[in-house]
Amino acid sequence: MIRLNPTRLELRIEDLTEFSEIKNEFEAIKKTRDEKVKNLLGGNVLTNLKTKQDAVQERIGFVPRPRHSSQ
Protein backbone atom coordinates (compact mmCIF):
# COMPACT_ATOMS: atom_id res chain seq x y z
CA MET A 1 0.00 0.00 0.00
CA ILE A 2 1.35 3.42 -0.96
CA ARG A 3 0.88 5.95 1.81
CA LEU A 4 2.50 8.88 0.04
CA ASN A 5 2.22 9.95 -3.54
CA PRO A 6 5.38 9.24 -5.52
CA THR A 7 7.66 12.23 -5.92
CA ARG A 8 8.60 13.42 -9.35
CA LEU A 9 12.21 13.06 -10.41
CA GLU A 10 13.54 15.42 -13.03
CA LEU A 11 16.75 14.98 -14.96
CA ARG A 12 18.35 18.21 -16.09
CA ILE A 13 21.11 18.84 -18.60
CA GLU A 14 23.40 19.94 -15.76
CA ASP A 15 22.95 16.55 -14.14
CA LEU A 16 23.99 14.78 -17.33
CA THR A 17 27.12 16.88 -17.74
CA GLU A 18 28.07 16.36 -14.10
CA PHE A 19 27.56 12.61 -14.48
CA SER A 20 29.75 12.44 -17.57
CA GLU A 21 32.52 14.43 -15.85
CA ILE A 22 32.50 12.13 -12.82
CA LYS A 23 32.41 9.05 -15.05
CA ASN A 24 35.45 10.29 -17.00
CA GLU A 25 37.34 10.92 -13.75
CA PHE A 26 36.69 7.38 -12.52
CA GLU A 27 37.74 5.91 -15.86
CA ALA A 28 40.99 7.89 -15.74
CA ILE A 29 41.68 6.67 -12.20
CA LYS A 30 40.98 3.10 -13.28
CA LYS A 31 43.36 3.40 -16.25
CA THR A 32 46.18 4.73 -14.10
CA ARG A 33 45.61 2.00 -11.51
CA ASP A 34 45.64 -0.70 -14.20
CA GLU A 35 48.82 0.72 -15.70
CA LYS A 36 50.52 0.76 -12.28
CA VAL A 37 49.56 -2.87 -11.64
CA LYS A 38 50.76 -3.84 -15.09
CA ASN A 39 54.10 -2.09 -14.54
CA LEU A 40 54.58 -3.64 -11.10
CA LEU A 41 53.72 -7.20 -12.04
CA GLY A 42 55.12 -7.28 -15.54
CA GLY A 43 53.68 -7.15 -19.02
CA ASN A 44 52.11 -10.61 -19.14
CA VAL A 45 49.75 -10.15 -16.19
CA LEU A 46 46.63 -10.49 -18.29
CA THR A 47 47.68 -13.88 -19.64
CA ASN A 48 48.19 -15.33 -16.14
CA LEU A 49 44.84 -14.26 -14.72
CA LYS A 50 42.23 -16.92 -14.16
CA THR A 51 38.54 -16.38 -14.23
CA LYS A 52 36.69 -16.42 -10.96
CA GLN A 53 35.02 -19.68 -11.94
CA ASP A 54 38.37 -21.32 -12.70
CA ALA A 55 39.76 -20.23 -9.34
CA VAL A 56 36.77 -21.64 -7.47
CA GLN A 57 36.90 -24.92 -9.37
CA GLU A 58 40.59 -25.30 -8.63
CA ARG A 59 40.07 -24.51 -4.95
CA ILE A 60 37.34 -27.13 -4.48
CA GLY A 61 39.12 -29.71 -6.63
CA PHE A 62 36.55 -29.84 -9.42
CA VAL A 63 37.90 -30.88 -12.79
CA PRO A 64 35.30 -30.30 -15.50
CA ARG A 65 35.29 -32.93 -18.21
CA PRO A 66 33.43 -32.58 -21.47
CA ARG A 67 30.45 -34.85 -21.97
CA HIS A 68 30.42 -37.10 -25.00
CA SER A 69 27.12 -37.54 -26.69
CA SER A 70 26.25 -41.10 -27.62
CA GLN A 71 24.80 -41.14 -31.08
Q: pLDDT tens for residues 16-54?
A: 999 999 999 999 999 998 888 888 776 555 555 678 888
Q: What is the dihedral of CA 23, 44, 42, 61, to 10 degrees?
A: 90
pLDDT value, residue 49: 64
Q: Are 45 and 38 in contact (CB under 8 A)?
A: yes
> pLDDT confidence of 71, banded at 50, 70, 90?
low
Rounded alpha-carbon distances, angstroms, from residue 17 to 10, 53, 63: 14, 38, 49
* CA-only gyration radius of the chain, Å: 24
Rounded alpha-carbon distances, angstroms, from residue 38 to 12, 24, 34, 47: 39, 21, 6, 11
pLDDT value, residue 6: 85
Q: Model pTM greater than 0.75? A: no
